[in-house]
Structure 1
Amino acid sequence: MAPLPAPAAWSQPLPAAAPPAGMALYQLPTGTYETRAALAFRGGSFRDKRQFAATAVLVRHPKGDLLIDAGFGAGVAAHMLAQPRLARAPYRVTSTAREQLDACGYDLGGLRGVVLTHCHWDHVSGLDQLPVPIWINESELRHATERSDGAVFRAVAAGHELHRYELDGPPYLGFPSSVDVYGDGSVVIVPAGGHTAGSVIVFVAVPGDRRYAFIGDLAWQLDAITRRVDRPLLMRVLADVDPGRVRAGLLRLISLAGLMDIVPAHDRAAYDGIPRLPPVLGERA
């Protein structure tokens, strides 16, 4: 099966970033659900069962913390049942993001909100336990409020403050616009629509010159990056509102491979370099 055409590797300097010394990144794995590799990327095997991650990521920053996505919540059973029958899958729950934060003594008052890569149920379920603002752009909010795949979002977002942000900043790493959350280049959100109307990528630079790209469902597994393949045709039709935009975004990410850690939301191995929360989360350095 032929891979996608190889894009030219990114040859320009990476955008300036000055992550503060007190900044840190943690993964909060909330569970997994089972999907065949053949449904996840072109060339995958039906015999290869993948455990798709449902993981939130905590960004600690002196100007206030953020979660990237929310993982599974207390209502995950109902949220799974709300999906079309063909989309339901065996799943396993560990502990919710809220439970993990509480266990290490985290003060929710320091959490500015949850930045959603997009509005699908497996990214928003945990909002049911997180009484903090939801960061979402207008394109994604329209998708979430008007389309059937936003039903779980509408349920768990009820009563939440919505922080509507605009992607009106300069181009960033080949993407047409951006928003620099803290003004220091450490967390930059770019538009990557196509899976949903307003899907985004969250680029994070941490102290020590390490960078991450949290790409949501632009690709479901790292194989899409390493093999240069997109979703199978059936899944492109069923899962993406604009497969052409997804492919364009995927090729932009492939051009950045080797310059940063690319983290598809559902690839468990992609989170391996990110520490989990310690038993006691102390003050920032």
Structure 2
Amino acid sequence: MYILTGVVLAGIAAALIVFRSFRPAPLPAPAPWTGPLPDASPPADMAIYKLPTGTYENRAFLAYRGGAFRELRKFAATAVLVRHPAGDLLIDAGFGANVEAHIATMPSYRRTPHKPGDTVRDQLAATNYDMARLRGVVITHAHWDHVSGLAELDAPVWMNPAEGRYVDRAKDAMVFREVTSRREIHHYTFDGPPYLGFPGSHDVYGDGSVVIVEAGGHTDGSVVVFVSLPDGRRFAFIGDLTWQMEGVTLRAERPKMLRILADVHPTQVRDGLLRIIALAGRMHVVPAHDVRAYDPIPDWTAGRHSGV
């Protein structure tokens, strides 16, 4: 007869909790959004482009509940350029030239194999892009893999007050504080009405083509950026509400242990993800780290010519 000590029983219980947190457990399906989409009048020459700056690896089971243990996923570090006659805008900045040093600021258990590519600055310079056109960089949130490339971009960084408070206190904002120490911060507020279920909004150009909404939870001031194109297509750049498309297609949130480690307010992240799931049939959703999600967006440097 075996007698299990309290320590052993506690260990078994903890193991069961961890195991269960990785099992598939789809969120309840929200009612699809059936109302009209907000009005948007994007100019005829508006367009968006992706600028991949590298990838890093993670196991699928760490990315979403139900992911395969043996499956390796390449996580994207990609910026998106919005071309607009009133001035261009970047959504996130990807890896920068000092990405190795930025990764080294993370605890060892969070460093994964990675493959840097050309920085946003290098990709723009390769096409003789006029940097005076760049109105700013909207960050979905201030984590290193979204902001590393800011170091090489002489453009205002767009940030809302809640994310400013996160940056002031969070260890995970160390890289952001470093790369923006000599950068202009453009402070914006959610001065617009609720937008597609999100509580507040900011219309960047005043024409509905680019609307930032407050979607805090991953960080205090994390955001979703909605983009409407002149051909009628709509995109939702959702940052890290989920790391992979399965968060939307399978309604699979992060495993509980990862939610505790990665999210400031996990319940808010769940609420934001459910709002996006409800919209998924009406627009293309882009989780920041899913390489596949960028497929419909043309690459900036592919086939570009000097003088753009």
Smaller-chain TM-score bracket: over 0.9
Which residue does the alignment assign to 1:163?
A: 186
1:70-81 equivalences under 5 Å are: 70-81=93-104
Among residues 215, 218, 231, which one is paired with 1:208 in the alignment?
A: 231
In structure 2, how many angstroms separate the alpha carbons of the residues matched to 1:254 and 1:102?
37
In structure 1, how many angstroms separate the alpha carbons of the residues matched to 2:113 and 2:170?
25
Distance 1:9 1:103, change over 3 A: same
Which residue does the alignment assign to 1:253?
A: 276
Which residue does the alignment assign to 1:279?
A: 304
The normalised TM-score by structure 1 is 0.98
**Aligned with 2:118: secondary structure?**
coil
**Aligned with 1:35: secondary structure?**
strand
Identify unmatched segments of 5+ residues in structure 1: none
In structure 1, how many angstroms separate the alpha carbons of the residues matched to 2:306 and 2:160?
30
For residue 282 of structure 1, report the CA deviation from its aligned partner: 5.3
In structure 2, how many angstroms separate the alpha carbons of the residues matched to 1:217 and 1:54?
12
1:78-227 equivalences under 5 Å are: 78-227=101-250
What's the RMSD between the two structures over aligned residues?
0.9
Cα deviation 1:203-228 (Å, max 9, x = unaligned): 00011000000000011000110001
In structure 2, how many angstroms separate the alpha carbons of the residues matched to 1:48 and 1:271?
20
Which residue does the alignment assign to 2:11?
A: none
In structure 2, how many angstroms separate the alpha carbons of the residues matched to 1:105 and 1:122?
25
In structure 1, how many angstroms separate the alpha carbons of the residues matched to 2:138 and 2:82?
10
In structure 2, how many angstroms separate the alpha carbons of the residues matched to 1:274 and 1:218?
20
1:270 and 2:287 equivalent? Answer: no
For residue 105 of structure 1, report the CA deviation from its aligned partner: 1.0
**Aligned with 1:124: secondary structure?**
helix
For residue 144 of structure 1, report the CA deviation from its aligned partner: 1.1
**Aligned with 1:202: secondary structure?**
strand
**Aligned with 1:196: secondary structure?**
coil
AA matched with 1:157 = T
In structure 2, how many angstroms separate the alpha carbons of the residues matched to 1:259 and 1:221?
19
1:103 and 1:279 in contact (8 A); partners too? no
2:126 and 2:306 in contact (8 A); partners too? no
Residue correspondences, number? 283
In structure 2, how many angstroms separate the alpha carbons of the residues matched to 1:265 and 1:23?
21
Which residue does the alignment assign to 1:39?
A: 62
In structure 1, how many angstroms separate the alpha carbons of the residues matched to 2:184 and 2:201?
22
In structure 1, how many angstroms separate the alpha carbons of the residues matched to 2:161 and 2:102?
24
Cα deviation 1:229-258 (Å, max 9, x = unaligned): 100011000000000000000000000011
Which residue does the alignment assign to 1:65?
A: 88
In structure 1, how many angstroms separate the alpha carbons of the residues matched to 2:272 and 2:47?
27
Distance 1:44 1:10, change over 3 A: same
AA matched with 1:193 = G
For residue 279 of structure 1, report the CA deviation from its aligned partner: 2.4
Which residue does the alignment assign to 2:53?
A: 30
**Aligned with 2:115: secondary structure?**
strand
In structure 2, how many angstroms separate the alpha carbons of the residues matched to 1:39 and 1:2?
14
Identify unmatched segments of 5+ residues in structure 2: 1-23
In structure 2, how many angstroms separate the alpha carbons of the residues matched to 1:31 and 1:213?
21
For residue 129 of structure 1, report the CA deviation from its aligned partner: 0.4
Give identity over the alignment, percent.
61
**Aligned with 1:52: secondary structure?**
strand
In our comparison, the structure showing a higher alpha carbon Rg is 2
**Aligned with 2:264: secondary structure?**
coil
